[in-house]
Amino acid sequence: MSPSRSAQRNVRDVVFVDGVRTPFGKAGEKGIYAGTRADDLVVKCIRELMRRNPSLPADRIDEVAIAATTQTGDQGLTIGRTAALLAGLPRTVPGFAIDRMCAGAMTAVTTTASGIGFGAYDVVIAGGVEHMGNHPMGAGADPNPRFMSERLVDPAALNMGNTAENLHDRFPAITKDRTDAYAAASQAKLAAAYTKEQIQQDLVPVATMKPGQGWALHTTDEPPRPGTTVADLAELRTPFRAHGRVTAGNAAGLNDGATAAVLASAEAAEELGLPVKMRLVSYAFAGVEPEVMGIGPVPATEKALKNAGLGIEDIGLFEINEAFAVQVLSFLDHFGIVDDDSRVNRYGGAIAVGHPLASSGVRLMNQLARQFEEDHSVRYGITTMCIGLGMGATVIWENPHHADYQSFTADQATTAATEGAAA
């Protein structure tokens, strides 16, 4: 038998080293990124990661995976590769593009993390971008007519706002009053996090230029509306259904922005002196009925917990993407978690900060990593989100600052040493 066949392959630990993002902007001609290219936003993130981690040689990066939902124009042309070249990484560094709609960046992370665990990579950059001003969701798409003619999906599945209204129908206990209260709390939590400078640490300043206005430097998110009240939200119209429950106030907006993160094997991180902010424990994706895509995080979380041998009671922090408030509340109700549980979205969420589709997964990870750093009592946390066309995604992470984390890594090192001696 050849050595390659006889050698035993061990799955390696994958760690989250660092993550950054641009400030998120409002999509449209009045937004801060009107006239700015999507790929330039990604380049900003990659360059900032390299600046923040000087012990990481650029030629040690084994892959760059960048997600975009609308892969055309300045978000096309295999953006992982083009962004790597534009960021000045060596030409020997490959790259690729990913599309899983809202979970693009999350899939970029899990895909490259799997490569690290398998041994194909040591260090990667993964992230996402969405410039919804340049590329409105669904622009240029040509859904196969069989979807409608053969009734493969409900027509509502192709409009995310309609799927949120459908979720309200399925769970009548989730009233508009509850979603508005949740949305107002998201705005308040984000405002408090900004006051405590818990958000700014991972933002990449972005300079933009607009004709007739000159240059501007953007260092904060554009979408938040601090001071929003439930009374304010009650006055908003329901665009997806007459007398409906989903409004612009209890849903994420249309946004522009980019994210990127460095992931590494635990061994490579130690070798290169890179920080370890989180350890990947497990992940899962799940499909659901497209017309109620917001329920996707529930089966994805159940699968991820089963894979990890954990229960929902083991999770001390939740970062749940707030595509719609009803989506978050359906998740909380399923697991018996109250609306204002202090473990959930401590810094607020997408309803306040924005949701540039394929980029948002790494934002969730940045915020969870920051909370792990602040709260050493929490061992496990999750990042989870619903995905258009009926899917959900969940990643479970471990806090390296927790007391039991050190014993875990020490136990692994002892086991590896014992196995090595026996061999």
Given a contact cutoff of 8 angstroms between Cβ atoms, the answer to whether 274 and 264 are in contact is yes
Angstrom distance (rounded) from CA 243 to CA 325: 17
pLDDT band at 412 (very low <50, low <70, confident <90, very high): low
pLDDT band at 418 (very low <50, low <70, confident <90, very high): very low
Residue 45 annotated to the active site: no
Q: What is the pLDDT of residue 8?
A: 66
3-state secondary structure of 170: helix
Longest dimension (CA), the chain: 73
pLDDT > 70: percent of the chain: 94
Q: Which of 131, 135, 355, 402 is catalytic?
A: 355
Say what angle helices 325-334 and 297-308 make with each other, to 10 degrees. 40
| CB atoms closer than 10 angstroms to residue 377 | 9
Number of H helices, E strands in the chain: 14, 12
Q: What is the pLDDT of residue 157?
A: 80
Angstrom distance (rounded) from CA 386 to CA 106: 11
pLDDT of 109 over the 70 cut: yes
CATH assignment of 11-135+153-418? 3.40.47.10
pLDDT of 97 over the 70 cut: yes
Average pLDDT over residues 409-416: 50
Q: What is the pLDDT of residue 408?
A: 54
Q: Which of 4-13, 54-63, 214-223, 247-256 has the lowest mean pLDDT?
A: 4-13
> What's the length of the chain?
423
pLDDT band at 69 (very low <50, low <70, confident <90, very high): very high
Taking alpha carbons only, the member of 209, 204, 216 closest to residue 45 is 204
pLDDT band at 1 (very low <50, low <70, confident <90, very high): very low
- What are the Cα distances from residue 382, in Å, to 281, 321, 379? 10, 11, 11
Q: Which of 45, 131, 218, 386 is catalytic?
A: 386
pLDDT band at 420 (very low <50, low <70, confident <90, very high): very low
Average pLDDT, the chain: 93
Residue 102 annotated to the active site: yes
Residue-wise pLDDT for 183-195, tens only, equals 999 999 999 999 9
Q: What is the pLDDT of residue 4?
A: 54
Q: What is the pLDDT of residue 99?
A: 97
Q: What is the pLDDT of residue 421?
A: 46
pLDDT of 363 over the 90 cut: yes
Angstrom distance (rounded) from CA 208 to CA 335: 44
Q: Which of 102, 131, 135, 218 is catalytic?
A: 102
pLDDT band at 143 (very low <50, low <70, confident <90, very high): confident
Q: Which residue has better confidence, 85 or 8? A: 85
Residue 131 annotated to the active site: no
